């Protein structure tokens, strides 16, 4: 029996910003989802060194910035260090596979390979929520930050669709294939049209960055490749528009009568 998915991320009731070294250490100890930490240029000291070690161990991105940027980001006394906290609680793909709580017998998730534009991420999340996509998979590094702007761009969809932030996307693909999922690359570098792909099976759809597309290392692991038909001279769509077309083709197939 397919169980209702109650795993959507919950909005945080706290601020999206934490200031100061010790409060950030406490956030790490509490396993809060930290997107990145900005550190004032030239700042040093033993406590900062300890924080940097903890951030490295946790896989959190660090960025050195001018004090002016910290002043714009945080109204409180930041002491040269500001953490940007995600408004959602991330999941892992392994957790979702283990739970098995899907809305559909043929669940779809979308994997974003280094999509860095916040507005594109938000638009993809909005379309995903509308089309019944079960979740969004993003890399821990090199992806758009899921903060206040992304949530607004998604019209709140990022607070409803589970987001998996993964250290290694290849590991996710291997697990998905072992669990019987097909891996579909959305790419113009193929002959098969998206309407001929059978989406009546568990599917991870991979969308690449507009400038570079899907990385070769992920492309090699895909079990099917599909493209959208093009008649114009531009020969490319915005990644969020392309993703929506794939989502709704999958929904059409799964809602059609046999």
Q: Mind listing the pLDDT tens digit for each residue in 145-184? A: 887 788 888 998 998 999 999 989 999 999 999 999 999 9
Give residue 104's pLDDT: 86
What's the number of domains the chain is made of?
A: 2
Looking at 85, 107, 139, the residue that finishes a domain is: 85
Residues 59, 99 within the same domain: no
Distance CA 205, CA 203 (A): 6
- Residues 137 and 238 sit within 8 Å (Cβ to Cβ): no
Helix (H) or strand (E) holding 204: strand 203-208
Looking at 64, 85, 106, the residue that finishes a domain is: 85
Does 89 have pLDDT greater than 90?
A: no
Looking at 38, 61, 85, the residue that finishes a domain is: 85
pLDDT (tens digit, 9 = 90+) per residue, 38-68? 999 999 999 999 999 999 988 888 999 999 9
Q: What Å distances lie between residue 192 and 106, 224, 236, 238, 239, CA to CA? A: 21, 9, 16, 20, 18
- Owning domain of residue 240: 93-255
Global pTM reads: 0.78
Pick the range with the lowest mean pLDDT from 130-139, 141-150, 185-194: 141-150
Distance CA 60, CA 141 (A): 8
Residues 58, 114 within the same domain: no
Helix, strand or coil for residue 48? helix
Helix (H) or strand (E) holding 18: strand 17-19
Query: Residue 62 pairs with which residues in a beta bridge?
Result: 37
pLDDT (tens digit, 9 = 90+) per residue, 211-251? 888 999 999 999 999 999 988 776 678 999 999 999 999 99
The number of CA neighbours under 13 Å toward the Cβ of 63 is 16
pLDDT (tens digit, 9 = 90+) per residue, 96-136? 999 888 888 899 999 999 899 999 999 999 999 999 999 99
């Amino acid at each position: 029996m397919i169980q209702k998915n109650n795993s959507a991320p919950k909005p945080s009731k706290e601020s999206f910003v934490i200031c100061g070294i010790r409060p950030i250490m406490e956030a790490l100890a509490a396993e809060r989802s930290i997107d990145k930490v900005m550190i004032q240029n030239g700042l040093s000291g033993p406590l900062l060194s300890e924080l940097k070690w903890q951030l490295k161990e946790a896989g959190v991105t660090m960025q050195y910035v001018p004090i002016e940027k910290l002043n714009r980001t945080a109204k409180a006394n930041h002491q040269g260090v500001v953490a940007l906290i995600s408004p959602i609680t991330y999941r892992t793909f392994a957790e979702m596979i283990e739970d098995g709580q899907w809305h559909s017998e043929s669940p779809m998730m979308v994997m974003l390979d280094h999509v860095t534009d916040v507005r594109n991420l938000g638009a993809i999340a909005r379309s995903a929520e509308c089309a019944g996509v079960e979740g969004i998979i993003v890399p821990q590094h090199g992806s758009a930050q899921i903060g206040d702007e992304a949530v607004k761009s998604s019209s709140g969809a990022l607070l409803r669709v589970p987001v998996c932030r993964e250290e290694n996307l290849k590991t996710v693909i291997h697990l998905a294939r072992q669990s019987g999922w097909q891996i579909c690359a959305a790419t113009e570098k193929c002959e098969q049209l998206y309407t001929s792909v059978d989406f009546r099976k568990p599917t991870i759809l991979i969308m690449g960055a507009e400038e570079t597309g899907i990385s070769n290392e992920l492309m090699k692991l895909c079990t099917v490749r599909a493209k959208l038909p093009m008649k114009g001279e531009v020969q490319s769509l915005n990644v969020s528009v392309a993703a929506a077309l794939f989502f709704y083709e999958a929904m059409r197939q799964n809602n059609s009568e046999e």
